[in-house]
Structure 1
Amino acid sequence: MIEETVFILEATYNPKFPYRITIKKGEEILLCLWVQDKWPTEGRHIFCIRQGGDEPIEPLEEIERVPVLSLSQYGKRLTIVLDRPINKRSDFLFIRKPYRNKEGEYEQIFWFTQKSIEEKRPSVRLYFPKEEGLDIIIDSREKHPYKFNGCNIQRQRLPVGDYALLIDNQIVSVVERKRFDDLLRMMTNMSELNLIISEL
């Protein structure tokens, strides 16, 4: 029998960490964190604290229990996808930092979504000499495009890629923009990667 992995949200009535999330596979607890909100909102990362190993994980007031579709670890980042139509994908970032005034390290955990990253992402500007007069097409579906100062910009739907360089009204170069975790996933699936490269 396959053991189901579930995401459990509970109320703690602690003003600093009013919620607890637990990820369980069967009876095995994979992750248990005290968190400051029910779900990461746009432009905000949620600070979390891992429940100590010596603390008993007693049942609290359960708010929701959702099946987990996938759980993937990429270095310090854990990605979870829940089986529901909205608020389904989020990430946890685990960082270890040295203490300033004593030996040893402490852990910082942040819970966020891709949308919150995009809201926090600073505006990126790429500078080119104006005399070059580069002609660049940005795909109309690109929600947060880079800014190219001193370039002639067109917004239109590209057949492939997100950015294209024009010379004499001909596309000579195309760039496909990818999130880091998507790139890692494709690197493990060479057939998919080769297909995307062949399209470019």
Structure 2
Amino acid sequence: MELLIARNPEDSTLPYIVLIPLDGGIVLRAKDTWPRTAKIYCHRHGLPWPEDPDIVERIPLRSCVRRGASISIEADRTRESRSQFVITQARGREMIFWQNARTTRAARPNVALPTARAAGLDDLEIVVDTREKYAWKFTTQQASTRREALRVGDYGVVDDDELVAVVERKGLEDLAGSLSGGRMIYRLEELATVPRAAVVVEERYSAIFKLTHVRPSLLAEALAECQVRVPSVPIIFAETR
């Protein structure tokens, strides 16, 4: 399964065409080849995929699925792997934007992340669970990492061979699935067995109310119930890492 990107054979301000391997092939015109710094405006090509396209890039995909009004893709590569095509209506016509987690943030905090060493520590070693595929690296936080199977959580701190603190990392879709499926409460109870634990969601809280495939009120209620039942494990919405 591949995402194909070719030069647009038509005279257009959108110089590329993209073939999404879904529903027999969806052909879009696009402004660029990947949403690296900003959302990319697209619209339907209106013509079939050329028989002899001028291919610019072939991107192998791990997945390509439709989720409500968007199409989510995951590329089979370590960087620039996740993005989505969002289909919406504006001024009575269809509009399509190609975006990723970085470019969806309408308001980016114009701040520098702290780089100071944790107080009282010469070095902080963070244990990364072996099942974590795309792990945070903490390259600017004066911390080191090592891989090890954790009994709970994705990132942890060990003292005298005891797990003393953990963080469970979740994307918005993962959080929504865990809340609506009733699995989140059990996960929090597992995390609560560690002296210090938290769930970090890689999105802002308001993004819950923009989801289309599940009722936002259901998620908000489930989230509140989780925090009441397991108050020792906070769920933190962090827009950036």
> Which TM-score band (shorter chain)?
0.5 to 0.7
What is the CA deviation profile of residues 20-54 of structure 1, one whole-angstrom value per residue up to 9, with x for unaligned ones?
110226x921x211000011123x100001122xx
CA distance 1:48–1:40, shift in 2 (3 Å): same
CA–CA distance in structure 2, aligned partners of residues 185 and 80 of structure 1? 17
- 1:184 maps to which residue? 176
- 1:37 maps to which residue? 32
- 2:104 maps to which residue? 117
Q: TM-score scaled to structure 2, two decimals?
A: 0.49
What is the SS of the residue equivalent to 2:60? strand
- Percent identity over paired residues: 24
Work out whether 1:19 is the aligned partner of 2:25.
no
- 2:217 maps to which residue? none
Q: TM-score scaled to structure 1, two decimals?
A: 0.58
> What are the ranges of 5 or more consecutive residues in structure 1 without an aligned counterpart?
100-104, 125-139, 144-156, 162-175
CA–CA distance in structure 2, aligned partners of residues 32 and 22 of structure 1? 5
Matches within 5 A, 1:26-175: 28-29=24-25, 31-42=26-37, 44-52=38-46, 55-59=47-51, 60-97=53-90, 99=91, 105-118=92-105, 120-123=106-109, 159-160=165-166
Count the aligned residue pairs. 140
What is the CA deviation profile of residues 46-77 of structure 1, one whole-angstrom value per residue up to 9, with x for unaligned ones?
0001122xx23213201222222112333222
- Tell whether the 8 Å contact from 2:6 to 2:57 is kept in structure 1 after alignment: yes
CA–CA distance in structure 2, aligned partners of residues 86 and 113 of structure 1? 12
Higher relative contact order (CA 8 A, sep 6+): 1
- Tell whether the 8 Å contact from 1:79 to 1:89 is kept in structure 2 after alignment: yes
CA–CA distance in structure 2, aligned partners of residues 39 and 108 of structure 1? 17
What is the SS of the residue equivalent to 2:34? coil
If you compute each CA radius of gyration, which structure gives the higher value, 1 or 2? 1
Amino acid in the other structure paired with 1:32? V
Comparing both structures, which one devotes a greater share of its residues to strand? 1
- Tell whether the 8 Å contact from 1:74 to 1:181 is kept in structure 2 after alignment: no
